[in-house]
Structure 1
Amino acid sequence: MTELARKLDALRRAALRDGVGAVRLRGLDWTSWVGCGGSAAVLLAAETGVADVLVSADGAWVLTDEIERARLQAEELPPGLEMFAARWWDRGAADAFADRIRGAGALASDRPRPGERPLPPEVVALRRSLGPEELERYRALGRDAAAAVSDVLRAARPDWTGFQLAGAAAGALWSRGVAPALVLAGDARRLLLYRHPTPTSDRLGDRAMLVVCARRHGLYANLTRFVYFRDPTAEEARRGADVTRIEAAALDASRPGATLGAVLDALVAAYAAAGYAGEEARHHQGGTCGYLSRDAVAVPGSTVPLEAGGAVAWNPSLPGAKVEDTFVIGADGLENLTVDPRWPVERIAGRARPLPLVR
């Protein structure tokens, strides 16, 4: 059975019940999932794209317009999805088609409009474990994202601005066919002040932080790296080591059957044990990922389960220190997707974790 056939079968079994006649997937996360890595994205900042996917008991269609039809069919979509393409100005044609397909049943959607139903929890759970084809796409994305970040930080200079660093990162990602969904560039002054240092015209100075959320085939690889243009001070080295030990608590707790709430509890305890009680409140600590940079952020008491084949990205932080990679949870441990063998590492709790690049 093909990837598309497996997904359509699972979607129908989970959603087409209790009076639901069809499912309309609108978000880029869901259309890329059901489309086996195909992308309906044009505007990078949008949550929805230029096509929806409509699934009924006996058919599956891509709803788009004549502007996009040929390109999507030739370059993005797997065989097995039919096309419904309206003229670009006929905004109601796709709605009317969906109404005909659902018949007397209700319409369920990931982004429901008035009169529509939300996706049932059983459908949401379908994305928590990635299939073999998805994992291969994810591994390739992780390698390319890590290599792009390494190349940029090896070329960076102290007199670059945050805009230049972010622009170089975006260019390095695009050159590998990867969309820069998020790029943060923290200069020496601002990375101490802000956990989300968006790029500015400030010069980097004697160190910098680069954070990317890299998207390809609908999947997101998340990673954070530091470059120093001098030797780290003893305090900087201590905080960097502390934050990786805090992260180790989350990675150790990221096992099939655990919940996001339980992993967050482990992180909170690790912050306190390291002498930073309450520091977790200054920034979210990460969570599950895949077809979003974070499918679910870990919050206190969360019962969202972790499953084998699911992905996580934790990002504990301290002033001037942060660590982040994207991992897949396996039955026998974690696989780090965002690895570049050229990057300096140290062993923390049995895992290779990134050090700052000192130049």
Structure 2
Amino acid sequence: MNRLEEVQVKLQRVRHLIEQRQLSGLLLKTQPNFSWLTAGGLNSVGIATELGVTSILVTPDGLYLIANTIEAPRAMKEEGLGELGFTLLTFDWYENRELQLVREIVGDGSVGCDVAVSGLLHIADDVAKLRYELTEGEVDRYLFLGTKVSTAIENTLMEVKPGDSEAEVIGRLCAELWKDRIDAVGYQSAADERAYLYRHPIPTMRRVDKYLMLCINARYKGLVTSITRLVHFGQPASELLRQFRHNLEIECAMIAKTRVGRPMREPLLTAIEMYEQLGYAGEWKLHHQGGAMGYYARDIRVTPTTQDLVGKNQAFCWNPSISGTKTEDAFIATPDGPKMITGPVVYPAVTVESNGFEFKRPGMLVL
């Protein structure tokens, strides 16, 4: 599937939604939805916002890029939107004519939007569901991203030394990712006791003594994956190794239980039972356990009452944690079982069997 074919598949989904909701058009303004519909295009300049600097308008028979005079030339040329069939609607940078241009195309009809805009119908949840089933091209991009991220985080941790700060380790990891135009959209780094104290340990200048947990959400052409790895200097305590193994077993059980057509809550309910059976009752309440992902780090944070079903070729990442340990690798739920996105590359591998599947998982690196 080439890029144009992928865009056409997605336009069919969008136009079906337009027909279902009896709309005259759909306006997409967020960075994730731009990347999704354009099969990997980027409309971001600033990173501290969900909104893109250009918008897409889809009608039953039209496809438009709405951009000011600053963004229009690059978007049409470097993002290849002309070749993908987009018609450019442009305005001067010192004006705000986006909605006027929309109305010139669709008239007084109802228009949906992926963000709240006065006069438009906010249907972000409906749009999100269009993204869930990955195309062939998206699967290929995800596997590329997963290999690069797995390699980058493990190579970075292989080079960590006691005395390095949490922040500088993150900096080295980001530098590795940027070699492939992969950007970090979230990161955590926890040295020693911080790994036990906080579930979201944003990086500080705390220096590593014996133990480091490193996590990152990394984005490539809009798709986001998550990963966590651990390194210990010197032989870890047997209790820590036992806990880490239990953490892996919980995650593998969750992956194995993520079956197409089944409720997303089933893997979580399985995990809750295992937490209790293994002696960690209540730990699951200290942090969300993950869920569906794609153009966001988590499209759905699954809870015990989530009603959504696992979709075909939908990406997931579970992240069970016990105070001091966390395991986290991403995968795609397929009719034949899980296809791993991330996994061990240079780290020691651990084999875990769960519900008829054999998983090759990263162990804890000991230096």
Give TM class, smaller chain: over 0.9
Equivalent in 129, 139, 142 of residue 138 of structure 1: 142
Matched, 1:152 2:156: yes
1:167 matched to which residue of 2?
171
Task: Name stretches of at least 5 consecutive residues in structure 2 with no aligned partner.
Answer: none
5 Å-filtered alignment, 1:201-280, equals: 201-280=205-284
* Conserved? CA contact 1:220–1:289, under 8 Å: yes
C-alpha change, 1:190 and 1:216, in structure 2 (3 Å) is: same
Matched, 1:43 2:49: no
Q: In 1, distance between residues paired with 2:137 and 2:276?
A: 40
Q: In 1, distance between residues paired with 2:5 and 2:47?
A: 29
Q: In 2, distance between residues paired with 1:208 and 1:314?
A: 20
Matched, 1:178 2:182: yes
Q: In 2, distance between residues paired with 1:17 and 1:355?
A: 48
- Which stretch of the first structure deviates more once superposed, 211-220 or 228-237? 228-237
Which deviations, in whole Å up to 9, do the C-alpha atoms of 1:229-259 show, x marking residues without a partner? Answer: 1111101101101111111221121010122
Q: In 1, distance between residues paired with 2:325 and 2:290?
A: 15
Q: In 2, distance between residues paired with 1:348 and 1:46?
A: 40
Following superposition, the deviation at residue 61 of structure 1 comes to 1.0
The AA in structure 2 aligned to 1:208 is L
Equivalent in 124, 134, 149 of residue 128 of structure 2: 124
Number of equivalenced pairs: 358
The AA in structure 2 aligned to 1:311 is A
1:195 matched to which residue of 2?
199
C-alpha change, 1:112 and 1:157, in structure 2 (3 Å) is: same
Q: TM-score, normalised by structure 2?
A: 0.94
* Conserved? CA contact 1:15–1:122, under 8 Å: no
The AA in structure 2 aligned to 1:86 is F
2:17 matched to which residue of 1?
14
* Conserved? CA contact 2:232–2:364, under 8 Å: yes
SS of corresponding position for 2:346:
coil
Equivalent in 296, 305, 317 of residue 313 of structure 1: 317
C-alpha change, 1:197 and 1:120, in structure 2 (3 Å) is: closer
5 Å-filtered alignment, 1:52-67, equals: 52-67=55-70
Equivalent in 111, 114, 123 of residue 110 of structure 1: 114
1:80 matched to which residue of 2?
85
5 Å-filtered alignment, 1:294-305, equals: 294-305=298-309
Q: In 1, distance between residues paired with 2:105 and 2:267?
A: 43
* Conserved? CA contact 1:143–1:340, under 8 Å: no
Following superposition, the deviation at residue 283 of structure 1 comes to 0.2
* Conserved? CA contact 2:290–2:318, under 8 Å: yes
Which deviations, in whole Å up to 9, do the C-alpha atoms of 1:274-326 show, x marking residues without a partner? Answer: 11111111000000001100001001211111112100000000111000011
Q: In 2, distance between residues paired with 1:181 and 1:120?
A: 21
Following superposition, the deviation at residue 340 of structure 1 comes to 4.3
Equivalent in 350, 353, 356 of residue 361 of structure 2: 353
The AA in structure 1 aligned to 2:18 is A
Following superposition, the deviation at residue 122 of structure 1 comes to 5.3
- Which stretch of the first structure deviates more once superposed, 281-290 or 122-131? 122-131
| CA RMSD, Structure 1 to Structure 2 (Å) | 1.5
Task: Name stretches of at least 5 consecutive residues in structure 1 with no aligned partner.
Answer: none
* Conserved? CA contact 2:343–2:361, under 8 Å: no
C-alpha change, 1:180 and 1:123, in structure 2 (3 Å) is: closer
